[in-house]
């Protein structure tokens, strides 16, 4: 869960950010944003069929 926003393309924040300013709320928000991005991409793929 902590690494997912760092490994995203593009990353939402860096490992340095995680060590200095990222809060647990930021991590949850970043993961929610990635879930939404994934859902939108899945819908776009379904629409192309």
pLDDT digits (tens, 9 = 90+) for 1-12: 899 999 999 999
* pLDDT reported for residue 35: 98
How buried is residue 31: exposed, middle or buried, by Cβ count under 10 Å (0-12/13-18/19+)? middle
Degrees (nearest 5) of the Cα angle 5, 29, 43?
A: 75
pLDDT reported for residue 49: 84
Q: What is the pLDDT of residues 10-49, one digit of tens each?
A: 999 999 999 999 999 999 999 999 999 999 999 999 999 8
């Amino acid at each position: 869960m902590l690494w997912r926003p760092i490994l995203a393309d593009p990353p939402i924040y860096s490992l340095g950010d995680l060590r200095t300013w990222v809060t647990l709320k930021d991590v949850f928000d970043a993961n929610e944003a990635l879930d939404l991005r994934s859902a939108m991409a899945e819908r776009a793929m379904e629409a192309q069929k």
